[in-house]
Amino acid sequence: MRVALQAEAPSEEGRRELPLTVRAAEDQDAQDLFGLLALCFADYPGCYVDPHQDLADLRRPGASFAAKDGALWVVEDRRGRICACVGVDFPGRGVAELHRLYVRPDMRRRGLGEGLVRLVEREATARGARSIFFYSDTRFVDAHRLYERLGYRQCEGTRELGDISNSVEYRFEKTL
């Protein structure tokens, strides 16, 4: 299923809408997703893409999320390039977990991230979730402002992943 999504782009006359397509991720999207993450992580010193250790779910993205009764969506720009992604699964009854919200740097601050979070929230609600949570690297400060604006609450404490990037994450939660 393909769905149209709009994001804003600056133009000479002001802001204009960009046509984007949202579709379910397929296993053949793996290389493009690793490229997207590499672009996103490049903004954060010491943050690396390691598909062998800590990104195993993206080696076969369609199958890995389907196996967890979840979903992973990718967003394509008008040239068919993946410019964003987001996923969701359901680790417990009435609970959803948001995963892998990444937006290519040149597509940020246009409403795309918010649109993808709302997509996950709609899917979670449709599947009976009453709450949603996720973890986000402590370095992703701009993303944290978006989450808080959308009603997510940062929880106390952190968790260390022990990955190649020495990631430390905050937990965010929201009642749906």
Establish if 166 belongs to a structural domain.
no
Establish if 146 belongs to a structural domain.
no
Establish if 25 belongs to a structural domain.
yes
Return averaged pLDDT per consecutive 10 residues of the chain, 176 residues in all.
Answer: 48 59 96 96 92 86 95 94 97 97 94 96 98 97 96 97 94 98
Rounded CA separation 96/131 (Å): 6
CATH of the domain at 63: 3.40.630.30
Q: Show the domain range for 81.
A: 2-129
Establish if 61 belongs to a structural domain.
yes
Establish if 161 belongs to a structural domain.
no
Q: What is the pTM of this model?
A: 0.89
Establish if 171 belongs to a structural domain.
no
Establish if 92 belongs to a structural domain.
yes
For the chain, the domain total comes to: 1
Establish if 172 belongs to a structural domain.
no
